[in-house]
Every structure is written in C-alpha cells, then in structure tokens.
Structure 1
Amino acid sequence: MKLADRVNALTPSTTLAITAKAKSLKNEGHDVIGLGAGEPDFNTPSYILDAAKEAMDQGFTKYTASGGTLELKQAIIDKMKSDHALNYTEKEVIVTTGAKHALYTLFQVILNPDDEVIIPAPYWVSYPEQIKLAQGQPVFVNAEEQNNFKITREQLQQAITEKTKAIIINSPSNPTGVMYSKEELEALGEVCLEHGLLIISDEIYEKLIYTQDKHVSIAQLSKDLKEQTIIINGVSKSHAMTGWRIGYAVGNQKIIQAMTNLASHSTSNPTSIAQAAALKAYTDSREQALSEMKAAFTQRLNTTYEWLTAIPGITCVKPKGAFYLFPNVKQAVEMNGFDSVDAWVEALLEEEKVALVPGSGFGSPNNVRLSYATGLDQLEEATKRIQHFVETHQV
C-alpha cells in the first residue's frame, strides 16, 4: 500500500535515531553513555505524584473537556498573570497532550498549502516536520554562532515574503540553550507587527535559566504583540513531567477555539489524571524541587562546559538555559580526518560508546548537541572519552 505523500516527505528524527543506536549497543552489553536525552533526569516531585494518586482514588478517570479542565485552565491563566503580567480568559487557553501536540495542532489550524513559517536555525527537530505535515513551508534563517545563535531584525526582514504566515521564537532554545533579551525581542516584534506575522513563542524552558537573566515573553512587551502571539508551554521540563504529556497554548481566541475543535476529533482530551497532576504543579507554591533541579543543572553546565572546551578543536557558545550544550566540533572533525560531523558522531559512539546528537538534525551541521540532564560522574566520563577519541584520531 502506498503511504501518504506528506508522511513520505518527513525526515526521521536524528535524536531518536542516535538514541535507538545507543540502546542497541547497551542491549549488547556495552557501557554506553547517552547524552541525547531531552528530559530532566529527576523524578516528578512526590507531591505531584500524590495528587495524581488522589485523583485516581476519587474516580477522576473519565473524559474531560477537549480543551482541558476549567481548573487547570484557570491555573494556567493565574500563572501567566503572575509570571508575565499577561491577562487571558478561559477561551484563550487550550490544554494539550504535551507542548509538542500544542504546536502540531496550531500548525494544522493556521497553515494553508505553501504558507511559510520562519524558523531560526539551529532549531528543534520537530518544527519543520510539523509545518510540512500541515502542508506549510519551513523557511530557515541562519542564526550565526558569532551572534550567539540569535537572528537579527535585518535577517527577519529579509526572510519575509508575501507567503509568510508566522515565525517561531524558542527562548531559551533547544538545542543551543541561548535566550533572547528584551531588546532583541522588541526588535523582532517590531518587524512582526509591521508585516502582521503570527508569533509562535515556545517557552517550554522558561524556568530552567542559570544566570541572572530573566526570561521575557515577547507577548508581555506590548498589547499589540500579545494579540499577535501564541505562547506554547507545559510542565514537562519545569516539573520533570515529560511522560505526563501536558502542554498548553494561550493566545488569540479564534485560533485557540480552532485548536480545541481539532483536538476534539483527534485526542478527545488530555489524560484526566495527568491534568490533575499538572494542576497541583501550578497551584502548589513549593519551589524546592525546581530549585534543586536548577542547582544541579547549573553545576553540570559550568563544569561540563569547562571540560568540553578544553578538548582540542571544540568551541562552544555558553548557554543560559535549557539543559543542552551545542559545541562546534568542525575543527576536531577535520583534525580527526572525518568528512562530516555525522560520521564523527557515529564513530565516537562505536569506539568510545558516547552518544551525542549531530547538529545536522537541528540545521547546524558543524555542531553536536550534548544533554547535561544526567549525573556529573557520567558527564565527566563522557568528556574524558570524547577527549581520548579526539586525541587518538589526530591525523
């Protein structure tokens, strides 16, 4: 049977491919250190687990409204007001089966064939694939490494055509960990307002920042920008709840209603029990678990950054958030006699049993993504193996 053209056009996930290879080697008994993880290595806090158990015991196991429970929507509304001084109504919020599903549903309801969406590169691997599934066209704008992987207003202006519908802003970013300042967002926002572009602000890593910099949502900069922005977020990263699959979108009522209508025919609703857990995450003021996670990530970032940049041929823009390093390994790859970063990564996994994700999957072929969402001892051993690999393969 012939598959649909839109599925055949998809690019397989580089992250999942390297994870599968690492798992295969592990199953063969090899001591593999996997640094491809896109999730915190901490368990969901116990008070959230308890809320889920209580919900089950009380019979909260049935369908909910397609767009999420009113209680969870209200908690999200309260969070947006508290964190960003943004006011939304219940009709401007949809709870989804993860932030990824929020993005997927959004693209399905806003894009017509050949509509263009601007994506700063490096980018999260699913952005272009979801746009293609909605019959849209991803348009990549290269965020230069010398500009800390951030695009400028001039670059954005040059990328806009009569077909441009939206732009994605991911701050802090996956895979780079960099974040836009208020001034940088204002500059991009002016261009978006001038051309009537919908701004898709992916803020899933907003709570994982390790400097004194404050996260700024572009929607909070002005009333006009708020009206033109859809914010995507969720509890996956902030509360170590990746497997619970609760995300959300807030913004324009017409778009949110269309997303809700589509969800009613696809997922029915986010899992009731997971919604109860997310409600507890947003209504309980305990910050100890998040503080402990951030402290661990801060230590890992600073220490691993020093280890990694001491390796010959490897440089790195130091991230401010998320839990990834995105080093440039082009010089090391050339020193080691490989034709590409992908080949270098594959050989590293085969020989040293360290799994990194090649930057080609993120639109940046000279880089690799390394997750520090794992123990410091594992990170130390991994960087030692990488250094050994680089030094022994010099040609």
Structure 2
Amino acid sequence: MTQSFQKVRALTGMKDVLPEFGAQWEALEDTVRVWLAAYGYRNMRTPVLEHTRLFTRGIGEVTDIVEKEMYSFTDALNDEHLTMRPEFTAGMVRASIEHNMLYDRPHRVYTMGPVFRHEKPQRGRYRQFHQIDVEALGFAGPDVDAELIIMLGRLWKMLGLTDIRLELNSLGQADERAAHRNALIQYLEQHTAVLDEEAKRRMHTNPLRVLDTKNPAMQEMANNAPRLFDFLGAESLAHFDAVCTRLQDAGIEYRLNPRLVRGLDYYNLTVFEWVTDRLGAQGTVCGGGRYDGLIELLGGKPAPAVGFAIGMERLLDLCSQSSDGAAPPECDIYMIHQGDEASRRAAAIAETLRDAGLRVIVHAGSAGFKSQFKRADASGAKAAVILGADELATESASIKWLRAEVADQQPQQQTVPLVRLITELKLKV
C-alpha cells in the first residue's frame, strides 16, 4: 500500500514571493539600479556561504547576531565551519581584500539579495530576508557620509515615500568609545536594580546596546546615562559637524539621537537610521554608518569605509501602503486565436511584436473566444489581438481595446492588415 506523502510547507520565517508580488520586487530593484547608477555605484555579488570566522571576527562574538541568530554548520566533507551570511558588509569587505580592490583606487559598490538570521519572525523581519547593501570603500571624508544620506533622501522621493525621518549620531573613535565605555559600565553598575537580565548580560560586553533598550522600566536610567557624544574629541566633532552642514545644504532634516548605536562592533564616527512609524515595532527602514577599522580587522591594509543596508521587505511594505494596490499588467498584448493554423500564426506574429518592444502573451491551448477574452482581460493587457479564419483569409488581425483609457479614444474593435499591426499597436499601447 502506498504511503501518503505529507505536504511540505515553507520553513517558518521564509516566505514565497508569488507572481502578483514579484512585479513589485522587480520594480523596486529596477528603481534601485537607476538610483545607484546616478551616483556611480557598481554591482558586486558575494557568496551566500562564508567561513564562520569572517562574521565572528568582523561582527563580534558578543553580538546578538553571532550569539543567537546565525545559521552555522560544519561541512562534514572538509570539516569547515560555515555560515549563511547574516549581513553583507563583512563579505563585501572580504572580497575587496581578497581581490586587492583598494590597491589603486576607492570603490563605490552595491549588492542586493537574501540574508539569513534565526530570530522570531514578525512584521518586516523574517529568517530569510532581503537587503540592498551599499558600500563606499576607501573614502575617509564626511562628504561621502553625507552623500550616502542625501542619496537615500532621493530614493524616498523616487518611491513616493514621505513618512521617513532621519536620526543621526556619532560613535567617535576607538579611544573615545573606550573612555565612554568605562564611564558607562561604572554608571550601569550603580543601577543594577533596574537592569533586566539582558542588560545585565550585556553590561560588561556591549554596554552601548544596553542604552538601546525598549524596556519602559529602564528608560529613565538610559536617558540619564553618560553620553558618548560628550566624550568626542575635536576631530570627531569636526567630522560630525561637516556631515550635518552638508545635510543642511541639501535640505535634509535630521534629529540628533545620542542613544543611536549600531548592533555591530565595527562602526565608528557617523551612524544613522531612517525610521518610520508606519511599520509597527520594526520601524527602521535603513541603517548605516562609517566602519574605518573593519578592513584592517579582516586582514587588509588599513582603509576607511562607510555604507548602509535597507530592508527590502520593509521598504516594499511602505511602498504598498502608498500605492493603490493594483497589480501591474502581465503583458501589453494578449493574442487570441481559433484553430491550428491561427495558433501557429499567432505565435509567429507575437515574436515580431516582441521584436518591436511589446510584451505579449499568446493564449496557450485551445479554448473558445469567450474564455480567451476573459483571460485576456484578467492579464491587464491594453489590447487583445484576434486571429481567426476570417483574419487569416484576408492577412489581417482584429484588435479589441480592453482598457477604458485606450478604448475611449478609438473604436472598441477594429481590423487592420498584418503589415500595419505593429504600427497601430505601438501608437496606442
């Protein structure tokens, strides 16, 4: 007796993107490529799998990502410890070192794709999610920090998003952070009574993250804690002031948030987030900043760098809230045919229409005209091109206009010679 097969479902926190939503992803990706090309950024792609030590070294062993969220395993064949990338920056830097990219000049690069973190799925946060990652490798000045932030302001305009605000801070340099860290630990040790268990665990390993708490009982303590900004020296303050001046020149509004930190250890100087109130608890759409020490930390010659990452699912969520929700059309033209000869001619004509830049679906299989017209209308096509016995006999095709914005401007259906078909369609589609 054949045993029934148990239905397989997608893993928790890993989502399928169905065709009606795939067009939204493609539209966003197309916009992003145009946007980044305008600033001279070029595409770069790195593997999904990297050596685990790349992330433990680059991200830091006491971060949440390394401690709790990475998908890691041992390759039994080679006894290698491997990890599915939890973020892009470490891999992008690894590639730049391995291929000597910074030997002769700095680089502006970007990538898009999936990253993986084992955390509790919630709105805008999945175990497999997607990021747009942008890195400026080899640039030291505040001008590039500001350019990245100004770039993002342009992207929000291109996408029609208005309810996103900028928060800004500086993490200073390593010695400044060390002095602040000592003061902060002393302060936290004096307030252990209000610290939750997570804060107590982080107090000596990553005390800055304690200030990023969402625990209401700890807010007053966090608000009164020593501020890193007060430990910054003249050079760090000058760098930050230069970033702010350029943002003001560009008309970019921002809020200084002295409690803004990054969850990864390699950041210094400028850090920023673009946030919104329209996504619930997961309000950060984009986060980034400067990480001048990471390239040397991962074995390269010392070089500055700055970048950011955008959560694509969150960005698409925002875009869908700002749109009418209508699915984009599957094609421009839907070919309807009756009979074997008409079916073959429809396939050939469709190729010539595609050569002319039109998107065409030829009805697959045999069906009555009523059924085919119903499918044509559902496709979102502006016109149906009809081939039947009468059309074949006269080397013509009938065009039925399916959308009101086109049909109102000419007869709802007309017959044209095949030699004029492309011209007629291109005029109106």
- Which structure would you say has the larger RCO, counting Cα contacts within 8 Å and 6 or more residues apart? 1
Query: Which structure has more strand as a fraction of its residues?
Result: 2
Q: TM-score range by the shorter chain?
A: under 0.3
The alignment's TM-score, normalised by the length of structure 1, stands at 0.27
| Structure ID, larger Rg | 2
Query: Which structure has more helix as a fraction of its residues?
Result: 1
